[in-house]
Structure 1
Amino acid sequence: MTKIDYSNPTLKHTPLYNQSAEINARFTSFSGWEMPVQYNGITLEHQAVRNSAGMFDISHMGKFTLEGKNVISQLQNLVPSDLNRLQPHQAQYTVLLNQQAGIIDDIIIYHQGTDETDTEKVVIIVNAGTKDKDQTWLLEHLDPGTIKFRDLSADKVLIALQGPQATSYLESLVSVDLKPVKAFGHLETSIFGQPAFLARTGYTGEDGFEIMVDSTVGIELWQHLYNVGVIPCGLGCRDTLRLEAAMALYGQDISDTTSPLEAGLGWLVHLDTKGDFIGRKILEQQKTEGVQRKLVGLKTQGRNIARHGYSILSSGQVVGEVTSGTLSPTLGYPIALAYVPSELAKTGTVLDVEIRGKFYPTEVVKRPFYRSTKRGND
């Protein structure tokens, strides 16, 4: 294979960069990385994931392992979710919180199990733009005497294989039966004779797996999947897919100034089943008194797209701001997420969005905007 290097030297590149460049991907800057935004068109790639299978290079994301005594109990203090519910080979989507219950990052914690010496092993996947911040926060709050922390971000490739046919493409490469693996289940196996970590997780609203392997195996796996017909997908359709599924994007829909209760992530907050944790007092107060604003889903008629940063109005007064918005390829109409006062967050409320100096009605609707009927083992 001819080595291609079209790279921007000021940005970081994943081990799969050249594979994308060889098939003429269009690139963009994202969280300090030069990443594919699209290959053959956002709509085509979006529809491939909804109807068959697509693959994403998500190797830019942070990948940590924690190993030692009482890893789960130490992480309990950093998240609002009750990690004691986790069994080996299960995972929990959750959030790291600061003292004000603001979201430092949204993460997935994978419990890999406990060995005969009572040593627990955990994998944590974090966002690319917050990796260094997350690592610093974790190291500040975990006991270095009992936990070994490793940052595998530069050593591992991460490929998201997503869509109703994703499992059939992957199961031909492994010796284990993937059908019994439920959503947020994970396992260790091998691909091309090398160790592989597989998790039934994703950011598209469809069934699929995220696959973590060494770089050389990742390059071989990407090329194999491409050769057998899996559609390569970029950040463009990753955004439209996750927005249809109403999955939050860190830095837009959630941040260190938004709480999980404001962001509609109350299902991650387990006040009744766990003890103290960072941010608990604020969440207890919000639970008792209610929050002043909420993240809502919006549906707009025609092709009037409410983009990030656009103002939301009620009775002529600005009351909120759009955090994410797009024209839904699946639904055929514009959808958006926005923070509005809690009293305006009821489904069916009609507000206005300002688009290039004009005002268009937009309706608060239930989330997610789209729910797959083709998902596997939920």
Structure 2
Amino acid sequence: MAKTTPLHDQHLALGAKMVDFSGWDMPLHYGSQVEEHHQVRREAGVFDVSHMTIVDVSGPDARSYLRHLLANDVARLDTQGRALYSPMLNEHGGVIDDLIVYLMTEPGVTGEWYRVVVNCATRDNDLSWMADCAVRFDVSLAEQPDLAMIAVQGPKARQLAASVLSESRARLIGQLKVFQGQESEGWFIARTGYTGEDGLEVMIPEEEALTFFQALVDAGVRPCGLGARDTLRLEAGLNLYGSDMDETVTPLQSNMGWTVAWEPQERSFIGREALERQRDGGVPSKLVGLVLEQRGVLRAHQTVVVDGLGEGEITSGTFSPTLGYSIALARVPAAADAEASVLVRGKTLPVKIVRPPFVRKGAQGHS
């Protein structure tokens, strides 16, 4: 039986089409995936993302543990609430998951602790791996199943969220920097998201989630489902775990080289040696953007042909509601440059190889 979020009945009341997503009964859309997509690009939309897994990491060795566990370096978190995006790797450099970690205290204080948000589809594997890696550290891992998570995204998201909250929470929203979160009256409010737009991700006691969600809807924020979330993140050039990366590929093959903190060289994180060998020996493939400006729709698993270099494969593809043509992420030979072709229903269609994101703040962003 699929798990449900605290907002499940409200989704049904709003007419959502529900689907099974990694064991969770989640809204795909509330009538029109395309209109939900446009609403986020133009004004604001609200997503129930309570299926995400929240884990708090504390203890004397919390920082040392995370510096070993993650390819990015939590020592870069120099102020309270600062967030860091990082892959979590296996010994071969493959991506176990991608996650966000927040420093919940001032750096270096006694009792320093972190909040980690990982994907629901990889929850069991993630928690097992994190626990196994914690054995030689004085650290505590505490999942937070009583917290719901609501994302408000779009150019008017912060303004509209602030309008339905207390004065202190509204003030905090106005002060938050991008990729920063702070606690307020028992909530954790972060200026992060998965759409390429400004906005918030709010971790909230599950008994308060319905009231907040409904207040946003009453204020004109459109409820949005997983369908719009996927087209928005793809336009923003953001990877989806299990599609654009997994344990068989490294960050260097997944357009995530920027998330690997090579310095200081003495930091021994899991997967470092494998990544160094691949970096020094030559990365065999890379993740790129594809643009198809003629009729046709790019889909995952379609074959990409790069003349003189070989073949690759689309990892994520869709019709872009914002741009009006089809876009995709694809893993192709590392030397691929400007042009390729894709096999679509027996036809060979020319595509441009571009650098994501495809859309930046509601407008074309690729180059």
With normalisation by structure 1, the TM-score equals 0.91
Q: Residue 283 of structure 1 aligns to a residue in which SS?
A: helix
Tell me which of 88, 91, 98 is aligned to 2:83.
91
**In structure 1, how many angstroms separate the alpha carbons of the residues matched to 2:107 and 2:306?**
57
**In structure 1, how many angstroms separate the alpha carbons of the residues matched to 2:188 and 2:172?**
14
Q: Residue 335 of structure 2 aligns to a residue in which SS?
A: helix
**In structure 1, how many angstroms separate the alpha carbons of the residues matched to 2:201 and 2:109?**
29
Does 1:366 find its partner at 2:366? no
Query: Do the aligned residues in 1 keep the contact of 2:77 with 2:107 (CA within 8 Å)?
Result: no
The 5 A counterparts of 1:1-378 are 10-87=1-78, 88-114=80-106, 118-143=110-135, 146-152=138-144, 154-172=145-163, 173-174=165-166, 175=168, 176-190=171-185, 195-274=186-265, 275-315=267-307, 319-344=311-336, 346=337, 348=338, 350-372=339-361
**Which region of structure 1 is more displaced relative to structure 2, 312-321 or 164-173?**
312-321
Structure 1 residues 201 and 32 mapped into 2: Cα distance closer, same or farther (>3 Å)?
Answer: same
Q: Deviations over 1:107-151 (max 9, x none)?
A: 000110159971112110000110111111111111487322211
Structure 1 residues 113 and 298 mapped into 2: Cα distance closer, same or farther (>3 Å)?
Answer: same
Query: Do the aligned residues in 2 keep the contact of 1:70 with 1:120 (CA within 8 Å)?
Result: no
Structure 1: runs of 5 or more not aligned: 1-9
Aligned to 1:4: none
Count residues in correspondence. Answer: 357
Q: What is the deviation of 1:189?
A: 0.3
Query: Do the aligned residues in 2 keep the contact of 1:310 with 1:322 (CA within 8 Å)?
Result: yes
Query: Do the aligned residues in 1 keep the contact of 2:322 with 2:362 (CA within 8 Å)?
Result: no
Structure 1 residues 93 and 115 mapped into 2: Cα distance closer, same or farther (>3 Å)?
Answer: closer
Q: Which AA in structure 1 matches 2:331? A: Y
**In structure 1, how many angstroms separate the alpha carbons of the residues matched to 2:36 and 2:13?**
18
Query: Do the aligned residues in 1 keep the contact of 2:309 with 2:335 (CA within 8 Å)?
Result: no
Aligned to 1:7: none
Q: What is the deviation of 1:325?
A: 0.4
**In structure 2, how many angstroms separate the alpha carbons of the residues matched to 1:279 and 1:317?**
28
Q: Deviations over 1:27-46 (max 9, x none)?
A: 11111111101013111111
Q: Which AA in structure 1 matches 2:345? A: R
**In structure 2, how many angstroms separate the alpha carbons of the residues matched to 1:283 and 1:116?**
29
Q: Residue 178 of structure 2 aligns to a residue in which SS?
A: coil
**In structure 2, how many angstroms separate the alpha carbons of the residues matched to 1:303 and 1:156?**
44
Q: Residue 268 of structure 2 aligns to a residue in which SS?
A: coil
Q: Which AA in structure 1 matches 2:50? A: S
Structure 1 residues 317 and 283 mapped into 2: Cα distance closer, same or farther (>3 Å)?
Answer: closer
**In structure 1, how many angstroms separate the alpha carbons of the residues matched to 2:107 and 2:99?**
24
Query: Do the aligned residues in 2 keep the contact of 1:78 with 1:277 (CA within 8 Å)?
Result: yes
Q: What is the deviation of 1:318?
A: 6.0
Q: What is the deviation of 1:317?
A: 8.8
Q: Which AA in structure 1 matches 2:292? A: T
Q: Which AA in structure 1 matches 2:245? A: I
**Which region of structure 1 is more displaced relative to structure 2, 72-81 or 195-204?**
72-81
**In structure 2, how many angstroms separate the alpha carbons of the residues matched to 1:226 and 1:313?**
45
Structure 1 residues 335 and 145 mapped into 2: Cα distance closer, same or farther (>3 Å)?
Answer: closer
**Which region of structure 1 is more displaced relative to structure 2, 316-325 or 287-296?**
316-325
**Which region of structure 1 is more displaced relative to structure 2, 287-296 or 229-238?**
287-296
**In structure 2, how many angstroms separate the alpha carbons of the residues matched to 1:115 and 1:243?**
34
**Which region of structure 1 is more displaced relative to structure 2, 230-239 or 82-91?**
82-91
Q: Which AA in structure 2 matches 1:184? A: F
Query: Do the aligned residues in 2 keep the contact of 1:82 with 1:273 (CA within 8 Å)?
Result: no
With normalisation by structure 2, the TM-score equals 0.93
Query: Do the aligned residues in 1 keep the contact of 2:61 with 2:137 (CA within 8 Å)?
Result: no
**In structure 2, how many angstroms separate the alpha carbons of the residues matched to 1:66 and 1:216?**
24
**Which region of structure 1 is more displaced relative to structure 2, 177-186 or 277-286?**
177-186
